Amino acid sequence: MPQLAFHQLIGANFSFQHFPFDQVARTIRDFGMREIELWGVAQHLDLFHATDARVDAVGRVLADNGLSTWCFTPEQVLYPINIASGDADLRRDSIERFRRAGDICAMLGARYLFLTPGRGFESEAQQPAWDRALEALGEIAAHAGRNGVRCLLEPLQRFETNIVNDAAGLRGMLDMLDADNIDVVLDTVAMATAGDTVASYIDLFGSRLAHVQLVDGSPGGHLVWGDGSLPLGRYVSELANLGYAGKITFEPFGNGSYALDPVKAWTRCLDALEPYLDRAAVPA
């Protein structure tokens, strides 16, 4: 049975927001991972306090623990950051913060900047918000590209955005952007709630599918493997069978108890994934 390679698995600071970042980095190192999806949350590296000095400090902590940054994922759903906002001042400030995020990626040596489409007013038609998102994503991706940084784009659940909620919408947005430095994220909960499949993502995006967030749900949620009802083992097997070569990580933060004991939450996820990993495989 095909398996994913252990080196495809990367760490993340999801659920660790109430712990010092140096402790988080040590934990990820001790799990045996060498790359991280760096969630840009307050107390670690949020876009409101990311001075050059703070970015340098985070970079030193990562280096001291033998970690490199796969992607920087600024918080952009709950924070007052919305690149598709109908409020012109908020939207412009949000875009500027993401241009700064592209600079941060370059400073950290990150391969990717993680993007989502923002959201429009619920009282307006979708098209104006789509157009604002398209313009903003194009501007941010172009700025990131000038820094030598690629971008990841993820569809979100309907309660998170009214712009891109499924793989077909993501394909349409990607085609209209026509940017050669944007790849795609598969979030298993967003996939399930939209009625999409692993095979449809592979068919629509091929090698541009570069990042998978493996989370459980019922079908919604950001749960530890086993706390929801999604067939995560089947999803992982399908990814392996279809030759997925990108990265995979966990995103557990939908349950308050995870933030109280994130090591336990991550250990449960890792134990569940272990049978689907080939630890002997080496990077190409």
pLDDT at residue 48, as a whole number: 96
Strands 11-12 and 247-250: unpaired
Could you count the other beta carbons within 10 Å of the beta carbon of residue 229? 13
Model confidence, pTM:
0.97
Which DSSP helix (H) or strand (E) runs through 73?
strand 68-74
Tell me, what's the pLDDT at 254?
72
Residue 78: predicted pLDDT: 83
b/e map of 168-195 (b: 16 or more CB within 10 Å)?
ebbbebbeebebebbbbbbbbbbbbbbe
Task: Say what the pLDDT of residue 280 is.
Answer: 85
Q: What are the tens digits of pLDDT across the range 200-248?
A: 999 999 999 999 999 999 999 899 999 999 999 999 999 999 999 999 9
Close Cβ partners of 212 (under 8 Å, ≥ 6 residues apart): 185, 186, 187, 188, 239, 244, 246, 247, 248, 249
How do residues 9-27 score in pLDDT, each as one tens digit? 999 999 999 999 999 999 9
Neighbours of 260 (CB within 10 A): 11
Show the low-confidence residues of the chain (pLDDT under 70): 284
pLDDT of residue 167: 98
Domain 4-258+271-278 CATH (choose: 3.90.850.10, 3.30.365.10, 3.40.720.10, 3.20.20.150): 3.20.20.150
| Tokens found for residue 19 | 């712990």
